């Protein structure tokens, strides 16, 4: 870590990206080192390391065992909700993954086939993902908090041969039965999997049907042989991860094998400052990109120990969980979302639960998923006495677009800023005309193409949608969907989404998806869902609905409809999308062309100065709504 090291790395990545990433590619093992580093023959689609041959699982497991890390813990599972914990060394994990890969092979899964994984935060989630990588199957992990309709949409997009699930997940306050949700999703899907592998958990055993296979039986060492690593091209897909866009239809982000392994491996040292053997804990969920990249792949590619928490920062059992874990597991790097820290701060404002804990192993706290607000940053900095580092990225990019690259050079921290663009990312702020904004001027945060390795290749089965969604607003640029600015010192400030994507407790949700559910209620004529500011979760969804019929319903009827709508969203999207409030209103404000003014409503609800477009159809509608929006 030296002064000027960042600039040298960043400049090198801009001047000669191919040389920069070819060098980084030497950090992983290849069967055939790539001859082509970047294939630019089909812009705006780019491929990294297309002719290199490697296997991601080999790089995450086998090579560490070969290099002498067989007995080092690879995964530590800590489950306060079940009062259980388990540690797997690299050798033990390799054994399990080999057998899980053998089980999938026996079920007919071949290279390129898809496997949907719908699991809670248990080691089998990591095992399943790596087993897919081992045999070249493409995994599509679906967050366990999503309801059957959302799961069904992802099944239909991925068309998996096999689905892996557990009988249940254990949440803070309840046991969530997964298997009935899987059955319901399969019932409504057009392309159901041939087999469903079920891990039975004692908290709620699942009823098994014809296509169901018991995980433990299928994994018995005497019943299944271990599968070896299938050589993959660098540009072959490793996984699909669905994320929310503005419409209800999720986008299947496609990640490759080679670029992903190179970038994630490189990021662990150069951005996060971790070394092989370090203990690393990301408190997220394997169903999100933060979980894919920094619970599973990056720490294992880098030879670290990754800690998996089945629990929450608070309530399992209290706000000391993270501190206990740092002490017990000797965690060097902790990565979570600001909302997790806010939840702890709310329960234990003075941080009294930190006292008496030995946190001396902790070197850095990393925060991502939403902007780190300066209050949260200050609280964590004061209490933990380590650098607290905000980093900005998205499902699409897979690793930080911007960070304070402590592994290369630590910049003075400006709370609220994501600091510097990571090497490989040419971040530009563009105005509506596509011109570069001056320092300090807010605009659309864009990345000049080609993006670095590890970023999305395309959308699953839909290059056109990829180009249309991300690459067509500004020629030659990737549109991040976030707005912000770059200050005079080159620090990047991310100010929030410029589209209708919601961010609830670091979970990304689609306004359009929620509106489709609300609009599906028979009493609703029209609706809008907006994300309003929330002290704990950053944003929470709020619905405004116009009812059918000329007569105003009684207060009792309104109450019933409000409750039904809240329930409908929980059932169809998931509990994570809990509507904070539902207001029944006479009309929604629109432009003359019929576009609902969600942003203006959100500004009113948040107490910000509303920007009312000149094209508003009827300003009186907005005036009438203002007092309703200001209600909490």
Binding stretches for ligand AMP (CB under 6 A): 243, 288-289, 368-371, 390-395, 418, 481-482, 494, 497, 503, 508
In the chain, count H helices and then E strands.
Answer: 20, 32
Query: Smallest distance, Å, CB 147 to ligand COA?
Result: 9
- Six-digit token pair at 494? 């991310």
Which lies closer to ligand COA via its Cβ, residue 393 or residue 411?
Answer: 393
Which residues, including other chains, have CB under 8 Å from residue 356's CB and lie 6 or more apart?
none
Query: Smallest distance, Å, CB 505 to ligand COA?
Result: 4
* DSSP structure class, residue 292: I
Query: Smallest distance, Å, CB 427 to ligand COA?
Result: 21
Regarding 343 and contact with ligand COA (CB under 6 A), the answer is yes
Residue 572 near which of ligand COA, ligand AMP, none (CB within 5-8 Å, type-dependent): none
CA distance 461 to 252: 8
Residue 176 near which of ligand AMP, ligand COA, none (CB within 5-8 Å, type-dependent): ligand COA
Query: Smallest distance, Å, CB 161 to ligand AMP?
Result: 27
Which lies closer to ligand AMP via its Cβ, residue 427 or residue 494?
Answer: 494
Regarding 427 and contact with ligand COA (CB under 6 A), the answer is no
Regarding 292 and contact with ligand COA (CB under 6 A), the answer is no
Regarding 507 and contact with ligand COA (CB under 6 A), the answer is yes
Which residues on adjacent β-strands are paired with residue 508?
503
Site pattern 566..595 for ligand COA (x: CB under 6 A): ---------xx-x-----------------
* DSSP structure class, residue 216: H
- Six-digit token pair at 476? 């030659």
Q: Cβ atoms within 10 A of the Cβ of 111, count?
A: 12
Query: Smallest distance, Å, CB 395 to ligand AMP?
Result: 3
Phi and psi at residue 124, in whole multiples of 5°?
-60, -20
Cα dist from 424 to 256, 427, 609, whole Å: 17, 9, 37
Regarding 339 and contact with ligand COA (CB under 6 A), the answer is yes
Regarding 201 and contact with ligand COA (CB under 6 A), the answer is no
Residue 306 near which of ligand AMP, ligand COA, none (CB within 5-8 Å, type-dependent): none
Which lies closer to ligand COA via its Cβ, residue 160 or residue 169?
Answer: 169
CA distance 398 to 125: 19
> Taking CA 164 as the corner, what is the angle to CA 161 and CA 165, rounded to the nearest 5 degrees?
145
Residue 171 near which of ligand COA, ligand AMP, none (CB within 5-8 Å, type-dependent): ligand COA
Contact range with ligand COA by CB under 6 A, out of 57-65, 110-118, 280-288, 542-550: 280-288
Query: Smallest distance, Å, CB 377 to ligand COA?
Result: 16
Query: Smallest distance, Å, CB 508 to ligand AMP?
Result: 3
Pairing between β-strand 251-256 and β-strand 232-233 as defined by DSSP bridges? unpaired
Query: Smallest distance, Å, CB 174 to ligand COA?
Result: 7
Regarding 284 and contact with ligand COA (CB under 6 A), the answer is yes
Please pick, from the candidates 314, 420, 449, 582, the single residue that binds ligand COA as defined by CB under 6 A. Answer: 314
Query: Smallest distance, Å, CB 201 to ligand COA?
Result: 13
Query: Smallest distance, Å, CB 568 to ligand COA?
Result: 14
Which lies closer to ligand AMP via its Cβ, residue 34 or residue 454?
Answer: 454
Please pick, from the candidates 98, 506, 538, 589, the single residue that binds ligand COA as defined by CB under 6 A. Answer: 506
Which lies closer to ligand COA via its Cβ, residue 166 or residue 544?
Answer: 166
- Six-digit token pair at 288? 């999100």
Which lies closer to ligand COA via its Cβ, residue 90 or residue 392?
Answer: 392
Handedness of CA 418, 424, 425, 428 (dihedral sign): positive
DSSP 360-401: TT--EEEE-SS---HHHHHHHHHHH-S-EEE-B--TTTSS-S
Contact range with ligand COA by CB under 6 A, out of 32-40, 390-398, 486-494, 502-510: 502-510
> Can you point out the beta strands (E) in 515-599?
524-534, 538-547, 581-584
CA distance 565 to 580: 11
Site pattern 142..181 for ligand COA (x: CB under 6 A): --xx-----------------------x-xxx--x-----
409: left (phi over 0), alpha (psi -120 to 50) or beta: beta
Residue 323 near which of ligand AMP, ligand COA, none (CB within 5-8 Å, type-dependent): none
Which residues, including other chains, have CB under 8 Å from residue 290's CB and lie 6 or more apart?
282, 284, 335, 337, 368, 369, 506
Secondary element (H or E) of residue 345: helix 338-347
Which lies closer to ligand COA via its Cβ, residue 510 or residue 600?
Answer: 510
Which lies closer to ligand COA via its Cβ, residue 152 or residue 588?
Answer: 152
Cα dist from 274 to 26, 199, 309, 342, 554, whole Å: 18, 33, 20, 25, 61
Q: Where do we find the tokens 């912000």?
A: 484
Cβ–Cβ < 8 Å for 72, 499: no
Residues that bind ligand COA (CB under 6 A): 120, 144-145, 169, 171-173, 176, 284-285, 288, 290, 312-314, 337, 339-340, 343, 369, 505-507, 575-576, 578
């Amino acid at each position: 870590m030296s002064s000027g090291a960042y600039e040298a790395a960043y400049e090198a990545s801009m001047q000669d990206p191919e040389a920069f990433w070819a060098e980084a590619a030497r950090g992983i093992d290849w069967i055939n080192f790539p001859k082509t580093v970047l294939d630019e023959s089909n812009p705006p689609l780019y491929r990294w390391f297309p002719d290199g041959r490697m296997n991601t699982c080999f790089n995450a497991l086998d090579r560490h065992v070969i290099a002498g890390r067989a007995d080092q813990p690879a995964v530590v599972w800590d489950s306060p909700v079940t009062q259980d914990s388990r540690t797997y060394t690299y050798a033990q994990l390799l054994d399990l993954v080999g057998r899980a890969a053998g089980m999938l092979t026996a079920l007919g899964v071949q290279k390129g086939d898809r496997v949907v994984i719908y699991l809670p935060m248990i080691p089998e989630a990591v095992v399943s993902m790596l087993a897919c990588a081992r045999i070249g199957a493409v995994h599509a992990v679906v967050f366990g908090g999503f309801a059957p309709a959302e799961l069904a949409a992802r099944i239909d997009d991925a068309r998996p041969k096999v689905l892996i699930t557990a009988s249940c997940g254990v949440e803070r306050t309840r046991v969530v039965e997964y298997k009935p949700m899987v059955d319901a999703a399969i019932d409504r899907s057009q392309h159901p999997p041939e087999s469903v592998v079920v891990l039975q958990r004692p908290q709620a055993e699942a009823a098994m049907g014809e296509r169901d296979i018991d995980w433990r039986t299928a994994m018995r060492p005497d019943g299944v042989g271990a599968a070896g690593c299938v050589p993959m091209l660098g540009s072959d897909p490793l996984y699909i991860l669905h994320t929310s866009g503005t419409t209800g239809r999720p986008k299947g982000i496609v990640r490759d094998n080679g670029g992903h392994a190179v970038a994630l491996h490189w990021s662990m040292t150069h951005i996060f400052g971790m070394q092989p053997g370090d203990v690393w804990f990301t408190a997220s969920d394997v169903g999100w990109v933060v979980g894919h990249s920094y619970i599973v792949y990056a720490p294992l590619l880098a030879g670290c120990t990754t800690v998996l928490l089945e629990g929450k920062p608070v309530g399992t059992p209290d706000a000391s969980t993270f501190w206990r874990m740092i002490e017990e597991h000797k965690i060097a790097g902790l990565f979570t979302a600001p909302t997790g820290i806010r939840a702890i701060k709310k329960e234990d404002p003075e941080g009294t639960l930190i006292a008496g804990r030995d946190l001396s192993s902790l070197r850095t706290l990393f925060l991502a998923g939403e902007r780190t607000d300066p209050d949260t940053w200050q609280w964590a900095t004061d209490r933990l006495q380590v650098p607290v580092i905000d980093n900005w990225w998205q499902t699409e990019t897979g690793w930080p677009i911007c960070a304070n690259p402590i592994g290369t050079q630590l910049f003075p921290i400006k709370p609220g800023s994501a600091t510097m663009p990571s090497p490989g990312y040419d971040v530009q702020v563009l105005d509506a005309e596509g011109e570069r904004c001056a320092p300090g001027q807010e605009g659309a945060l864009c990345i000049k193409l080609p993006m670095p390795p590890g970023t999305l290749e395309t959308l699953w089965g839909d290059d056109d949608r990829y180009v249309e969604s991300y690459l067509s607003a500004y020629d030659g640029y990737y549109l991040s969907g976030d707005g912000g600015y770059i200050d005079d010192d080159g620090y990047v400030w991310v100010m929030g989404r410029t589209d209708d994507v919601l961010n609830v407790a670091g979970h990304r949700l689609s306004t359009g998806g929620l509106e489709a559910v609300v609009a599906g209620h028979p009493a609703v004529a029209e609706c809008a869902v907006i994300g309003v500011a929330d002290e704990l979760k950053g944003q929470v969804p709020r619905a405004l609905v116009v009812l059918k019929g000329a007569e105003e319903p009684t207060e009792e009827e309104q109450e019933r409809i409000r409750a039904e709508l809240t329930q409908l969203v929980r059932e169809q999207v998931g509990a994570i999308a809990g509507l904070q409030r539902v207001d029944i209103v006479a009309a929604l404000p629109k432009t003359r062309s019929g576009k609902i003014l969600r942003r203006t409503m959100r500004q009113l609800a948040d107490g910000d100065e509303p920007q009312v477009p000149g094209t508003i159809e009827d300003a009186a509608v907005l005036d009438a709504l203002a007092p309703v929006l200001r209600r909490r």
